[in-house]
A and B are shown apart, each in its own frame.
Chain A
């Protein structure tokens, strides 16, 4: 494999090993929740990465509509794919943590519901990309949907919050910053960093693959004509 691919892969490999060390050995066991709380150290970073990925989709979509450059479109598509991967991880690991702690897999709390709706929106985004006839126009459709999809995030979150405040929400443990031991906070930061590196690596690889693929299509047309 090419050297330029190997370096980021190795870097994220090391970062993840370090994060695992912190999550399992350095961080103390949570008193009430026990070991299952260690899901937290990769659940929260996954959520962060998925939001970051959808933010990149939005920015790349705006840039694509402005410039019409194909590379922005490829970046948006790559980032959306990775965002869906991580939001799926969030939606799977969340219930795995909630079941033993709150004794329920799911509650319609603002953050959970927003993640679920985000998942639906970006699955739709990926479907839209694969269902178009005309590639150039399809890229514009995807960009428009990518922008609206991201602008929808705060709107969905606020509406669900207003909806939920009228029903008493179950007590959510581990609200950001509340009663998190310094070691745990440190571990969380390391894991956030590691997952950000992982995101950058995946995005780089996926983007390069997309670029090579379009280059391939161009070459094919050139040779056959």
Chain B
């Protein structure tokens, strides 16, 4: 029984760690892409003026 607990903890840690890291990258990427989009629109606007 306790053996399975260790097994469970180990697997839980592996997948949460990888998943959180992936989530972190995704968040960063979407944030930057949004910022770039805003910046581009800004740039075009000021060029238009």
Interface positions of A (Cβ within 8 A of B): 34-36, 38-39, 42-43, 46, 82, 85, 88-89, 92-93, 96-97, 99-100, 198, 202, 205-206, 208-209, 212-213, 215-216, 219-220, 223
Other A-B pairs beyond A97-B10, A206-B25, 6, CB < 8 Å:
A36-B3, A39-B10, A92-B10, A205-B26, A212-B32, A213-B28
Q: Is the CB of A209 within 8 A of B13?
A: no
Q: Is the CB of A100 within 8 A of B22?
A: no
Q: Is the CB of A209 within 8 A of B32?
A: yes
A34 vs B4: C-alpha distance when bound (angstroms): 9
Query: Which B residues touch A46, using CB under 8 A?
Result: 14
Closest 6 CB pairs of A and B: A96-B10, A36-B3, A93-B10, A39-B10, A209-B29, A96-B6
Q: Is the CB of B39 within 8 A of A89?
A: no
Q: Which of B6, B26, B28 contacts A100 (CB 8 A)?
A: B6
Q: In the complex, what's the smallest C-beta–C-beta distance from B47 to chain A, in angstroms?
A: 9
Closest chain A residue to B4 by CB distance?
Answer: A35
B16-38 vs A, CB cutoff 8 Å, 1 = contact: the mask equals: 01100110011011001101100
Query: Which A residues touch B49, using CB under 8 A?
Result: none
Q: Is the CB of A202 within 8 A of B11?
A: no
Question: Interface residues of B, CB < 8 Å — how many?
Answer: 27
Q: In the complex, what's the smallest C-beta–C-beta distance from A124 to chain B, in angstroms?
A: 20
B48 within 8 A of A: no
Given the known inter-chain contacts A93-B13, A219-B39, please indicate yes or no for A36 contacting B6, CB distance below 8 A. yes
Query: Which A residues touch B17, using CB under 8 A?
Result: 85, 88-89
Q: In the complex, what's the smallest C-beta–C-beta distance from A3 to chain B, in angstroms?
A: 14
Query: Which B residues touch A96, using CB under 8 A?
Result: 6-7, 9-10, 13
Q: Is the CB of A38 within 8 A of B7?
A: yes
A88 vs B18: C-alpha distance when bound (angstroms): 11
Q: Is the CB of B43 within 8 A of A223?
A: yes
A96 vs B22: C-alpha distance when bound (angstroms): 24
